[in-house]
Amino acid sequence: MAGKKLSFEQSMARLEEIVGKLEQGECGLDESLKLFEEGARLAASCNEMLDKAEQKVDLLLSAETGAETPFVQEQ
């Protein structure tokens, strides 16, 4: 699943699939490591997407109330 940027929902669905496979314990060591690595990348990507969404919500709320909210600029 490399090369294509997945949506948050797609990433979470794939992460759940990976966790299910790992919990079954039927994968060999090599496959388990590959799945774990993919899962770690997906989890990091999901966290990044959530952080960006939270920043946007904070920005919108601060604009609505006139309060200053710290905002980390997207790169």
DSSP conformation class of 25: T
The CA distance from 68 to 66, in Å, is 7
Task: Show me where the domains of the chain are located.
Answer: 8-65
pLDDT tens figures, 23-61? 999 999 999 999 999 999 999 999 999 999 999 999 998
DSSP conformation class of 73: P
User: Residue 19: which of 35, 3, 41 has the closest Cα?
Assistant: 35
Please give the C-alpha separations between residue 50 and each of 2, 4, 30, 60, 67, in angstroms, as whole numbers: 20, 19, 30, 15, 22
Q: Residue 2: is its pLDDT beyond 60?
A: no
- Mean pLDDT on 13-18: 98
